[in-house]
Amino acid sequence: MRYAIFSDVHANKTAFEAMLLDAQRCKADVLISLGDVVGYGPDAAECVNIARNSTAVNLMGNHDAAVAGLLDTEEFNEYAAEVAQYHRRMLNQEQVQWLAALPYVYVGATFACAHANLAEPETFAYLETPADAEDSLAVRPEKILFVGHTHERAIFVADGEAPPRKLPMQDFVLEDGLRYVVNVGTCGYPRGQTRLSYVIYDEGETRAAVYLREIPFELGEYTARIRKSGMRMHEERERRLRKVYSAAAVIATLTVLVGGLAYHAVHKTPPPVATKEAKSAPDQETTAERPAFREVYNVPENAYCVDFKIAIKRNAEPAHVAFSFLDGGGALLHSTKSMERWVKESWTQTRRTSSGFKIPPGARTMILEIAPRQSGMDGITISPPKFPER
Number of Cβ within 10 Å of residue 88's Cβ equals: 17
So what's the pLDDT on residue 13? 94
Q: What is the mean pLDDT of the chain?
A: 80
| 280 touches 273 (CB < 8 A) | yes
Range 227-232 average pLDDT: 79
Res. 244: pLDDT tops 70: no
| 164 touches 23 (CB < 8 A) | no
Range among 137-151, 257-271, 304-318 with highest mean pLDDT value? 137-151
Range 25-45 average pLDDT: 95
**Structure confidence by residue, pLDDT tens digits, 172-198:** 999 999 999 999 999 998 876 678 999
Range 340-363 average pLDDT: 51
User: Any idea where the domains of the chain sit in the sequence?
Assistant: 2-266, 291-386
Res. 83: pLDDT tops 80: yes
So what's the pLDDT on residue 384? 80
So what's the pLDDT on residue 349? 38
Segment holding 111, helix H or strand E: strand 111-114
So what's the pLDDT on residue 306? 81
**Structure confidence by residue, pLDDT tens digits, 87-121:** 999 999 999 999 999 999 999 999 999 999 999 99
**Does domain 2-266 fall into CATH 3.60.21.10?**
yes
pTM above 0.85, yes or no: no
Range 206-210 average pLDDT: 90
What is the percentage of the chain residues whose pLDDT exceeds 70?
Answer: 78
Res. 4: pLDDT tops 60: yes
So what's the pLDDT on residue 22? 92
Amino acid at 326: L
2-266 and 291-386: same fold?
no
Number of Cβ within 10 Å of residue 220's Cβ equals: 12
What is the percentage of the chain residues whose pLDDT exceeds 90?
Answer: 48
Res. 141: pLDDT tops 90: yes
Range 224-228 average pLDDT: 84
- Report helix, strand or coil for 16: helix
Res. 238: pLDDT tops 60: no
So what's the pLDDT on residue 336? 65
Query: Which of 27-41, 265-279, 287-301 is predicted least confidently?
Result: 265-279
So what's the pLDDT on residue 259? 42
Res. 257: pLDDT tops 90: no
| 306 touches 387 (CB < 8 A) | yes
User: Binning pLDDT at 50, 70 and 90, where does residue 345 land?
Assistant: very low
- How far is the C-alpha of 152 from the C-alpha of 169, rounded, in Å? 11
- How far is the C-alpha of 207 from the C-alpha of 75, rounded, in Å? 42
Res. 262: pLDDT tops 50: no
Fold of 291-386: Hypothetical Protein Tm1070; Chain: A (2.60.290)
Residue scoring higher pLDDT (315 or 344): 315
Res. 277: pLDDT tops 70: no
Q: Are strands 346-347 and 357-358 parallel, antiparallel or unpaired?
A: unpaired
